[in-house]
Chains A and B, each alone.
Chain A
Amino acid sequence: MKTKTTQVRPTGQERKFSDGELIVTKTDTKGILTYANDVFLRISALDEEDAIGQPHNLIRHPDMPRAVFKLLWDTLKEQREIFAYVVNLASDGAHYWVFAHVTPSFDDNGRVVGYHSNRRVPSRSAIAAADELYGVLRAAERRHDRAQEAVAAGHAALQRVLAERGCSYDELVWDLSTNGRAR
């Protein structure tokens, strides 16, 4: 059984899951894991007791730009769904790409009680495109030592990319996921 006291070093080994599978997690409003399905535990090489009660960034890969997570949380705070290509880090150092769909969970009174993430297998072309985009954002973020400045720089870089393409973040993500077929 692995513990998260020491930082996991990425091995560069890629792990995959099948098209028919869904990786599912639920968190409370603070992003603490309250539920993780079997697929999540298997792919992340985690036992249930290692995951539940931990913050979701337990599986955070260093290649992920900060700006993407900021966008994710900003969007969720507006009670909107968000899609993102995410590379995650398993506890054994392997990584896996997902196409994540994160949505708020509501109670009967319409109050947000937590967040829910469904993750599906992304296409190889989408992974390549996301990897390239994140490289640009990472480069912008790494020029700054302080986290806040790094996030701002990554965000600005993302906005520049969107402005160049003349589309919104959502449209960009869907363009990747459908290889431009939906538009």
Chain B
Amino acid sequence: MSELDEALYLIADVCRKAAAGNLEARVPYLGESKAETEARSAINDLLDRTDAFVREAGAASAAGAAGHFYRRFLVGGMGGAYRRAAEEISRSGDAMSRNAEQIAAAAESRIAFADQLETAVLALSERIAAAAGEMGRSANGLAGFARSAVGDAERGLETVTELRRSSGQIRHAVDLINRVAMQTQLLSLNASIEAARAGAAGRGFSVVANEVKTLANETGESSGEIIDQVDAVQLASEDAVRVLKAVTDRIREMSGLIDGIAAAVDGDTAHETTGLSELAEVLRVEVQSFLAAARA
């Protein structure tokens, strides 16, 4: 085998190893000639740069995957396609770094949002609870007021009904007086006729009969007036009864509405509904467990 063949076999051996991924092998000393020195130097340079690229590509990607974004792809000593690929890997590292920063920023703003939400919900639920307490107390006060108003109105109704009944009795009495007055008029007329027949002897009696007639007439007129007034009282009291009944109904309706408000605020055990202050507490607890999940 010639010296050249030997040198070529040595080169072939190293190239085969490198092709198989063994980048440790290098071309050994081939000979003193310029061609031999050049060939060895050129092939080893190729292997060195390939070796460097492979080491950088592996290490830079691993560092990126581990989040060590400060570790960059070293492009020094890399030319042409090596450099372009190296820069590409560097750019993807930068993109990963930016993504990681964005994710971190998003996480930070999520935590900040959670804090804000928590503060807002806590304040809100406290205010709802306070307002609910206030509303509950007001509703209970209104309900008591409505009950006593209904009682008062019912008593007023009784009084007016009593008034109607007694004015009916007055009318009855006045009717009686009227009948007596008419009877008395008739009587006084008869007395006047009898007095005239008696002549001079009946003159004094005739004066008395006239007086009685006048009295009876006056009585009749007065009782007519009384009846008119009693009629007016009865009409007015009928009106009053109608109005009082309407007022009582309204107050009863209002009382029902107030009970509804009280039930909404305080809760209603009979219908298993939850009160407003309890709902505020439920909201607070729910939001806090949501936030605990969001912060994790």
Name the residue of chain B whose CB is nearest to the CB of A48.
Answer: B29
B213 at the interface (CB under 8 A from A): no
Q: Say whether A103 contacts B59, CB under 8 Å.
A: yes
B295 at the interface (CB under 8 A from A): no
Report if A118-B45 is in contact (Cβ < 8 Å); known contacts: A35-B26, A174-B70, A178-B72. Answer: no
Q: With the chains together, A81 CA to B61 CA distance in Å?
A: 13
Name the residue of chain A whose CB is nearest to the CB of B40.
Answer: A38
Which chain A residues border B76 with CB–CB below 8 Å? Answer: 19, 22, 99, 120-121
Q: With the chains together, A174 CA to B70 CA distance in Å?
A: 6
B 13-49 binary contact with A (CB < 8 Å = 1; else 0):
0000000000010100100000000000100110011
Which chain A residues border B205 with CB–CB below 8 Å? Answer: none
A 35-66 binary contact with B (CB < 8 Å = 1; else 0):
10110000000001000000000000000000
Q: Say whether B24 contacts A21, CB under 8 Å.
A: no
Q: Which of A99-113 contact B (CB under 8 A)?
A: 99, 101, 103, 105, 113
Q: With the chains together, A48 CA to B69 CA distance in Å?
A: 38
Q: Say whether A22 contacts B71, CB under 8 Å.
A: no
Contact of B72 among A22, A103, A182 (CB under 8 A): A182
B 62-82 binary contact with A (CB < 8 Å = 1; else 0):
000000111110101101000
Q: Say whether A105 contacts B24, CB under 8 Å.
A: yes
Q: Is the interface of A mostly helix, strand, loop or mixed?
A: mixed
A 110-131 binary contact with B (CB < 8 Å = 1; else 0):
0001101010110000000000
Tally of A interface residues using CB under 8 Å = 29
Q: Say whether A171 contacts B70, CB under 8 Å.
A: yes
A183 at the interface (CB under 8 A from B): yes
User: Smallest CB–CB gap between A5 and chain B, Å?
Assistant: 23
Which chain A residues border B52 with CB–CB below 8 Å? Answer: 22, 24, 118
Which chain A residues border B118 with CB–CB below 8 Å? Answer: none
B259 at the interface (CB under 8 A from A): no
User: Smallest CB–CB gap between A145 and chain B, Å?
Assistant: 37
Q: Which of B106-133 contact A (CB under 8 A)?
A: none
Q: Which of A148-182 contact B (CB under 8 A)?
A: 170-171, 174-175, 177-178, 182
Report if A26-B24 is in contact (Cβ < 8 Å); known contacts: A20-B79, A38-B41. Answer: yes
Q: Say whether B72 contacts A174, CB under 8 Å.
A: yes
B55 at the interface (CB under 8 A from A): yes
Q: With the chains together, A114 CA to B71 CA distance in Å?
A: 23
Q: Say whether A182 contacts B24, CB under 8 Å.
A: no
Q: With the chains together, A26 CA to B26 CA distance in Å?
A: 10
Which chain B residues border A175 with CB–CB below 8 Å? Answer: 70
Report if A182-B77 is in contact (Cβ < 8 Å); known contacts: A22-B52, A103-B55, A114-B24. Answer: no
Q: With the chains together, A170 CA to B51 CA distance in Å?
A: 22
User: Smallest CB–CB gap between A44 and chain B, Å?
Assistant: 16
Tell me the B residues contacting A by CB distance below 8 Å.
24, 26, 29, 41, 44-45, 48-49, 51-52, 55-56, 59, 68-72, 74, 76-77, 79
- 19 more CB-based (< 8 A) A-B contacts, given A170-B71, A177-B72, A182-B70: A20-B77, A20-B79, A21-B77, A22-B49, A22-B77, A24-B48, A26-B26, A37-B45, A38-B41, A81-B55, A101-B55, A103-B55, A118-B48, A118-B51, A120-B76, A121-B76, A174-B70, A178-B72, A182-B69
Tell me the A residues contacting B by CB distance below 8 Å.
19-22, 24, 26, 35, 37-38, 48, 81, 99, 101, 103, 105, 113-114, 116, 118, 120-121, 170-171, 174-175, 177-178, 182-183
